[in-house]
Amino acid sequence: MKKLFFITTLLFGFSLNAFAETSHFLDFAKVLNASKSGAEAQKTLKDKFARESKKFTKLEQSIRKEESEIISQKKTISAEEYKKKVEALRKKVADLQKEKQKTFNEIAKSRNNAKQSLLKAVNPIIKKYMEDNNIRLILDKKNVILGDQTLEITDQIINILNKELPSIKVN
C-alpha cells in the first residue's frame, strides 16, 4: 500500500512539474491596455467621450437657461402660450436625452469593436509564441492564484503586438 501511494505521489509530482514547465500566464488586461494599439484606441475613445460630454453639458445648460426664461415669462404670457413653450422644452429635453444615449452607445460599440480587433490580432501572436517556445497552456493572470514570475509572458506578448500591430482603427 505504501509503495502504491509513493508511486502515485511520484507520478503526480512529475505530471505537475511537466504541467508547470509547459504552462505560462499573461495579464490579458495589461496586453489590451498597455500595448501601443490598445493605449492609442483607449485615448481616442476617451477623448471622444470627453468631447461629447462637454457638448452635451453645454446643451443641457442652454436648456436650463431656456427653462428659467420660460418660468420668468409665466405671468406675462397667456396660459396657452406658456403650455406650448413648456411642451417644446420637454421635447428638447427628450430629444437631447435620446441623442446623448445614442452617442454614448456608439462610443461603447466603438470600444467593443476596437477590443475585438485587438483580440483578433493577439490570438495568432499568442499561438505563434506558444509554438516557438514549446508552451502547452497559457492562462490569464487574473485566474492564477500564485505563480512564478518567470512564467509570466505579458511583456513579451506586448512587445510582439507593438511590432505587428502599432495601431488599430477606431470608428
Q: Which domains does the chain have, with CATH numbers?
A: 2-47+98-164 (3.30.910.20)
DSSP state of 137: E
At which residue does the C-alpha cell 452617442 appear?
Answer: 103
pTM above 0.85, yes or no: no
Cα separations in angstroms, 106 against 45, 48, 136, 165: 10, 11, 39, 24
Return the C-alpha cell found at 58. Answer: 453645454
Q: How many CB atoms lie within 10 A of CB 95?
A: 11
**What are the pLDDT digits (tens) for 65-113?**
999 998 998 888 888 998 999 999 999 999 999 999 999 999 999 999 9
CA-nearest of 10, 2, 18 to 137 is 18
- The pLDDT of 30-52, averaged and rounded, is 92
Distance CA 135, CA 127 (A): 9
